[in-house]
Chains A and B, each alone.
Chain A
């Protein structure tokens, strides 16, 4: 087995554009779930409206690139208001149901034949990414031995990590403030916060919008790094992977979602590379009755799921979490 290839694949992915997308989406979920206790299972929906907001503005309506970015971000804000207005007064589980349904509705509408003239049907939209790629200052890709990235990826990563940096800074600044204290209090007990004269609904809405905008940024970045907006990219698996990343890193911690996504992609591609090497070639290391090369790409998710279970059992607070906080729940 070639360890070098495994490490290259794992490290490249851990810092690569895909991990950035999940980190941004998970930062949004951290605001929703980690700090405010809102169960948003439709982060993929926020990403989809933003990504397609940009793509459709530029491709279908011939608007300038920057206008497309603004449209995308506004779309995620509007979605937050639409989802929050009827559900935030109800118990937390209702938001979960509504968001997961809304995300699916959005994905199906975007991929429908009837809306093909706007959103390109199941093939999606391409041809909006040129202004972004043209800004690329790099002459070539980068190979640092243990990892390598193409010229396009390098530019995406520069923008993406800058976005993550700014997002983390904003989350940190907000969560140390009295505003963040109100959100964390709402997570603990809404009625107590209400009895102290805070407008809980308004705070929950602000949190939903803020996290939705982070989701929107993730969606914009996703379609830009990929060069296309495809409806099937925004399925529910996306949201659950982002949740997995958040829980690995530790909820309600500024860097939790970032480190969580890096580790998530490090493991996914590292394990994928290991299993594909073990089952590949004419004389595979693992006998074919045990595992074939078509099964190799699936087994990594099984192993990762097992790892997640062990994490939840032995370190339920995630990597950055505070064990004392989790212990309080047990009372």
Chain B
């Protein structure tokens, strides 16, 4: 397996493989973050740190609270308690749009392309600090025409990089699922984020496109951006992530480099189930039946007594 060691990921070598381990240069730091939905505790993170300039994967079984943690960090949801900071600035009670402006941009598990806008319009929307987006200067093209041209150039470059330039004038709603993922990632880059948070970038993407998406995610790190992504695809996690954080039932259960995490018994139990490497067809059916019968008998005796 190819192991890529960038300077940034080398810095992670001395970090202990403990949940909530402190990183040498964290871009995001959070502690005591909890979020409950009624009686269910969706997120209960004691401490989390995301290292700058590396690709961090956030994995865990369904319902582990990964997306909820994403929502909390980016201001799309409010936690019951906890504080967290981005680049040392506290983001508590910061609305989602200010979080994005500060350089922390996320994508969505269910892609949110703007269906009735063309691909290029989707891209242009991503640019920040546009003069033409202010009401009083909007009617006068002279005030924003120049900036719009710059924005369009940047958008065209990104579209070419993500191989969407042929779709430039199509409605975003006419794109395929995979192309929507690409468009959403490209649009997030228009904000020029320091930290880009991808929520299941591979879900519903065909294998061919997956390879190019992997390349794109790696290129984000090579540009010096920090990437945090949620993913179920273990191949992708193993292939590109420098650090893996494992969540289960709202808590961080393990952390470490991909290889150590995947060998960790706690992770295997939480994520794959304790019997993950037993082939079901190898199990002795008679033995299983006998066990089940014994259990039923025991129960029947209990109710009799």
Contact = CB atoms under 8 A, between A and B. Distances in A.
Interface of A: 170, 173-174, 176-182, 184-185, 187-189, 191-200, 206, 210, 324-325, 328-329, 331
28 contacts: A173-B138, A174-B139, A176-B141, A177-B132, A177-B141, A178-B130, A178-B131, A178-B138, A178-B148, A179-B134, A179-B135, A180-B138, A181-B124, A181-B133, A189-B112, A191-B76, A191-B112, A193-B114, A193-B125, A195-B107, A196-B188, A196-B191, A197-B101, A197-B128, A197-B191, A324-B171, A331-B115, A331-B173
Interface string B61-101: 00000000000001010000000000000000001111011
Contacts of B182: none
B134 to A, nearest CB: 7
A121 to B, nearest CB: 39
A173 B96 contact: no
Given A178-B148, A185-B125, A196 B100 contact: yes
A328 B188 contact: no
Contacts of A331: 115, 173
Contacts of A195: 74, 76, 96, 100, 105-108, 112, 188
A170 B133 CA distance: 15
Nearest to B99: A197
B121 interface: yes
A12 to B, nearest CB: 34
Contacts of B76: 191, 194-195
Contact of A188 (B114, B133, B134, B138): B114
Nearest to A325: B116
Contacts of A181: 117, 121, 124-125, 133
B105 A196 contact: yes
B178 interface: no
A72 B244 CA distance: 61
A188 B187 CA distance: 15
A210 B139 CA distance: 13
Interface string B31-48: 000000000000000000
Nearest to B143: A177
A193 B121 CA distance: 12
B26 interface: no
Contacts, number: 112
Nearest to A172: B139
Contacts of B121: 181
Interface of B: 74, 76, 95-98, 100-101, 105-108, 112-117, 121-122, 124-126, 128, 130-135, 138-141, 144, 148, 171, 173-174, 187-188, 190-191
Contacts of B131: 178
Given A177-B139, A193-B125, A325-B171, 4 more contacts: A198-B133, A210-B135, A324-B171, A328-B115
Contacts of B138: 173-174, 177-180
Contacts of B113: 189, 192
The interface residues of chain A, by DSSP majority, are classed as helix
Nearest to A187: B116
Listed residue (B96, B134, B138) with the most chain A CB atoms within 10 angstroms of its CB: B138
Contacts of A177: 132-133, 138-139, 141, 144
Given A184-B114, A325-B116, A331-B173, A196 B187 contact: yes
Contact of B135 (A184, A185, A206): A206
Contacts of B140: 173
A179 B133 contact: yes
B100 A194 contact: yes
A261 B100 CA distance: 42
Contact of B96 (A179, A182, A194): A194
A91 to B, nearest CB: 15
Contact of A196 (B95, B117, B135, B190): B190
A176 B108 CA distance: 28
A179 to B, nearest CB: 4
A254 to B, nearest CB: 13
Contacts of B122: 185
A207 to B, nearest CB: 9
Contacts of A185: 114, 117, 122, 125
Contact of B173 (A191, A193, A206, A328): A328
Given A173-B139, A179-B133, A196 B126 contact: yes
Given A194-B76, A197-B100, A178 B132 contact: yes
A199 B98 CA distance: 8
Given A194-B76, A198-B133, A328-B173, A184 B190 contact: no
Contacts of B106: 195
Contacts of A193: 114, 125
